[in-house]
Structure 1
Amino acid sequence: MDIRHARIEDAETVVQLYLGYDRPPEPAIAPADLVRLFADITRTGYIAVADDDGEIVGSYTLYFCASLARGGRPFAVIENVIVAAHRRRQDVGRALMAHARDAAHDAGCYKVMLATGARRPQNLAFYESCGFSGDKVGFQIRFDA
C-alpha cells in the first residue's frame, strides 16, 4: 500500500469513500465544483490517499495553518479521515495517521491536531494509540446542522 498525495482524478473516489461512512448522505458535488474544491484544498494543504494496487482504500486531508505563535511555526489540522469499510481494522488508518504526523513534522509544524465526532471508545483509543492526546477540549459551531 502506498500513501500519496491525491490527484484530481482520485477526487470522485475519495467522495465515494465519504458516502460509505455511517452518517447521513451528503449532497452530490458537481464535477466543476469538485475541480475547484480540489484546487482550493491544495492551496493550503493536500488530500492523501491510501492506494493499494490501484484501489483507493483510505484518505485524509491535511491543512497547514500559518501562525504568529510558537516563533511563527505553522500548525496542521487533519480532517476527513476515512477508510473503506472492507479495509477497516487492517492498519490502513494507522498508516494514514503516521503519514499525516510525519508530513506535519517535516513541514516544521509545532503541532498537528484533529477533532472527531466519534464517540465510540474504540475510535478514541485508536487516535490515542497513534500518539494523539485527548487532553484538550474542542468546540465548534456547525452551520449545516
Structure 2
Amino acid sequence: MIRQAERTDKEQISNLYRMLVPNSKKRDVLEEQIEIIKNDPKNFLLVYEEEGEILGTITLNICLQALHGRSPYGVVENIIVHENHRGKKVNRNLYTMLKNIVDL
C-alpha cells in the first residue's frame, strides 16, 4: 500500500534514510515535520508499506516559478527503497502514485 507518511512512521522512515545517507550527522526525522508535510497541499512524503513495514519513501515538493507563467514544477527527492527489497518495483509504484497525485 502507498500512503502519505504519518507521525508514527518516524522510526521506520529514519531507518530508511540511514540507508540513503549513512554518515549524515544532520539526519533528524521529526514527527512534527512529517505532520506539517502531510497537511501541506504542495508537499508529499509517500511511503510504500507491506504488512506494517515501510519499504520505501519518496518526497515531492511542488514549487512556484516565473519562467512558464503560473505552471509550477515538482522536485522529487529522498527516494529510498529498503536494501532488502530493491528490484521489487517499489520505486516504480511510488512514482506511479506521484503521477496520480499531480499532473507531471
TM-score band, normalised by shorter chain: 0.7 to 0.9
Work out the number of aligned pairs and report it: 101
- For structure 2, the residue ranges without an aligned partner over 5 or more in a row are none
Could you give the per-residue CA deviations for residues 53-92 of structure 1, whole angstroms, max 9, x where no partner exists?
Answer: 2110000111011233434122111110000011100111
Counterparts of 1:73 and 1:8, CA distance in 2: 31
CA RMSD of aligned residues (A): 2.1
C-alpha distance in structure 2 between counterparts of 1:35 and 1:7, whole Å: 8
Give the equivalent residue in structure 1 for 2:76: 78
Structure 1 spans left out of the alignment, 5+ residues:
106-110, 112-145
- Amino acid in the other structure paired with 2:94: L
The alignment status of 1:37 with 2:33, answered yes or no, reads yes
Q: Give the alignment's TM-score, normalised by structure 2.
A: 0.81
TM-score (norm 1): 0.60
TM superposition shift of 1:99: 1.4
CA contact (8 A) 2:16 2:56 kept: yes
Percent identity reads 29
Structure with bigger RCO (C-alpha 8 Å, 6+ apart):
2
What letter corresponds to residue 45 of structure 2 in structure 1? Answer: I
**Residue aligned with 1:72, SS:** coil
For 1:8, the equivalent position in structure 2 comes to: 7
Q: Distance in 2 between matches of 1:34 and 1:81?
A: 18
Q: Deviations over 1:112-134 (max 9, x none)?
A: xxxxxxxxxxxxxxxxxxxxxxx
Q: Which has the higher strand share?
A: 2
Return the alpha-carbon distance in structure 1 between the equivalents of residues 60 and 10 of structure 2. 15
